[in-house]
Homo-oligomer: A and B are copies of this chain.
């Protein structure tokens, strides 16, 4: 199996159920399988999703860098994907993972470590 996400094609039956935005992307909410923590949100295109399903490595598309990004490939903070669920209207994914180390590039466990705007 190729390690290059761009080489992965999404199953047509799955692709038909998804609504990508006008940039060809769908948001993926990433949740820790064991604790339920919401770790991060990232974006996938068809190839990133196909790579995620085929390899069970969390794989995303970086809008700012315009490239694929296999989580943990450089940091070691990998995500073993345990589930990929589609929402009711087919435009959001919920990805459950076993997260090694920090999900956030800041070194925090989750990207949502900031102060609560409510308090």
Q: Collect the chain B residues with CB atoms within 8 Å of residue A116's CB.
A: 83-85
When all copies of this chain in the complex are counted, the total is 2
B86 near A117 with CB under 8 A, answer yes
Q: Is A16 an interface residue (CB 8 A)?
A: no
Q: Collect the chain B residues with CB atoms within 8 Å of residue A56's CB.
A: 118
Q: Is A106 an interface residue (CB 8 A)?
A: yes
1/0 contact string of A104-119 vs chain B (CB within 8 Å): 1110100111111111
Chain A residues proximal to chain B, CB less than 8 Å: 14, 27, 29, 31, 35-38, 40-41, 53, 56, 81-89, 92-94, 104-106, 108, 111-119
Q: Top 5 nearest A-B pairs by Cβ distance? A: A36-B36, A87-B111, A84-B117, A94-B112, A85-B112
